[in-house]
Amino acid sequence: MNIKNRLINAGILLAVFITAVLIFSYFTNRRNDNMTADMGVTTYPQVSFSCNGFNVNLLSGYAKKMDIPAMRDTITPVDGQTLDLNIEAYGNKINRLKYTVYTLDGKDKLLEKKVKKAGKGVSLELAGENLLSEERVLEIVLSLDGGKSVYFYTRIVDSTNDNVAECLNYISDFHENALAKAEGTGIGTAIEPNEEGDNSTFQHVTIHSDYNQVTWGSLEPSVEGGERWYIKETNSTYTSVQLEYKVRCKGEENEEDVYKAKEFFRVRHIADAQKTYLLDYDRTMEQIFDPTKKVLSEKGVLLGITSHDVQYMVSDDGSTVSFVQADELWNYNKDTDELSLVFSFSDAENSDTRSLMAKHEVKLLASDDDGNVTFAVYGYMNRGEHEGEVGAAIYYYNIDQNSVEEKAFIASDKSYGTAVYELGRFVYYNVGKDMLYVVVEGNLYEVNVEKKGKVTKEVIVEGLQEGQYVVSDDGHMIAYQSNGNLTEATEIQVINFANGKKRKVTCEEGEVVRPLGFVNNDFVYGAARTADTGNTVSGETVVPLYKIEIQNSKSKVVKTYEQKDIYVLDAQFEENIITLSRVRKEGAAYTGTVDDYITNNEEKEESNIYPESYVTELKETQYRLTYADGISDKEPKVLKPKQVLFENPTAITFDDDSASDKCYVYGYGELQGIYEKAGAAIQKANEYNGVVVSSRQSYIWERGNRNLQHAIAGKDNEIQTIRDRLNAGDAPIDIMNDISKERGMDYTGCSAEELLYVINQDIPVIAMLNASSSIILTGYTESTISYIDTASGEKKNATYESIDEMTQGSGHAYIGYVK
Q: What is the pLDDT of residues 336-362, one digit of tens each?
A: 999 999 999 886 555 678 878 889 999
In the prediction, which pLDDT does 602 show?
A: 59
Q: Which tens digits make up the pLDDT trace of 585-594? A: 888 789 988 8
If 0-12 CB within 10 Å is exposed, 13-18 middle and 19+ buried, where does residue 337 land? middle
In the prediction, which pLDDT does 113 show?
A: 96
Q: Which tens digits make up the pLDDT trace of 87-128? A: 999 999 999 999 999 999 999 999 999 998 888 999 999 998
Q: Which tens digits make up the pLDDT trace of 199-224? A: 999 999 999 999 999 999 999 999 99
In the prediction, which pLDDT does 433 show?
A: 86
What fold, for 164-287? Answer: Nuclear Transport Factor 2; Chain: A, (3.10.450)
- How high does pLDDT run on average in the chain? 89
- Segment 248-274 mean pLDDT: 95
The second-level CATH assignment, the architecture, of 46-73+80-157 is Sandwich (2.60)
In the prediction, which pLDDT does 607 show?
A: 83
Q: Which tens digits make up the pLDDT trace of 518-537? A: 988 899 999 999 999 999 99
CA distance 53 to 416: 29
pLDDT band at residue 515, thresholds of 50, 70 and 90? very high
In the prediction, which pLDDT does 199 show?
A: 96
Helix or strand holding residue 157 (H, E) = strand 149-158
Domains 46-73+80-157 and 164-287 share a fold: no
The residue type at 251: G
**Residues forming a β-bridge with 786:** 779, 797
In the prediction, which pLDDT does 814 show?
A: 96
At residue 74, does pLDDT exceed 90?
yes
At residue 381, does pLDDT exceed 50?
yes
* Helix ranges, 181-285 (H): 187-190, 211-214
In the prediction, which pLDDT does 369 show?
A: 86
What percent of the chain lies above the pLDDT cut of 90?
68
Q: Which tens digits make up the pLDDT trace of 41-63? A: 889 999 999 999 999 999 999 99
In the prediction, which pLDDT does 263 show?
A: 98
Question: Could you tell me which residue, 38 or 25, shows the higher pLDDT?
Answer: 38
pLDDT band at residue 25, thresholds of 50, 70 and 90? very low
The candidate with the shortest Cα–Cα distance to 554, out of 603, 505, 605, is 505
In the prediction, which pLDDT does 166 show?
A: 96
The candidate with the shortest Cα–Cα distance to 493, out of 501, 484, 485, 502, is 502
In the prediction, which pLDDT does 465 show?
A: 86
In the prediction, which pLDDT does 23 show?
A: 36
Question: Could you tell me which residue, 39 or 21, shows the higher pLDDT?
Answer: 39
Strand order in the sheet with 94-103: 75-78, 149-158, 136-144, 94-103, 109-115
The second-level CATH assignment, the architecture, of 710-817 is Alpha-Beta Complex (3.90)
In the prediction, which pLDDT does 191 show?
A: 97
pLDDT band at residue 30, thresholds of 50, 70 and 90? very low
Q: Which range is least confidently modeled, 51-55, 248-252, 294-298, 384-388? A: 384-388
CB contact at 8 A, 444 and 479: no
If 0-12 CB within 10 Å is exposed, 13-18 middle and 19+ buried, where does residue 129 land? exposed
Any idea where the domains of the chain sit in the sequence?
3-30, 46-73+80-157, 164-287, 291-357+374-471+606-657, 663-702, 710-817
Q: Which tens digits make up the pLDDT trace of 748-799? A: 999 999 999 999 999 999 999 998 899 999 999 999 999 999 999 999 999 9
- Segment 623-649 mean pLDDT: 83
CB contact at 8 A, 768 and 810: yes
At residue 475, does pLDDT exceed 50?
yes
Question: Beta-strand (E) ranges in 530-619?
Answer: 534-536, 541-542, 547-551, 557-561, 567-574, 577-586, 589-592, 596-599, 609-616
Model-level pTM? 0.90
pLDDT band at residue 77, thresholds of 50, 70 and 90? very high
CA distance 601 to 613: 22
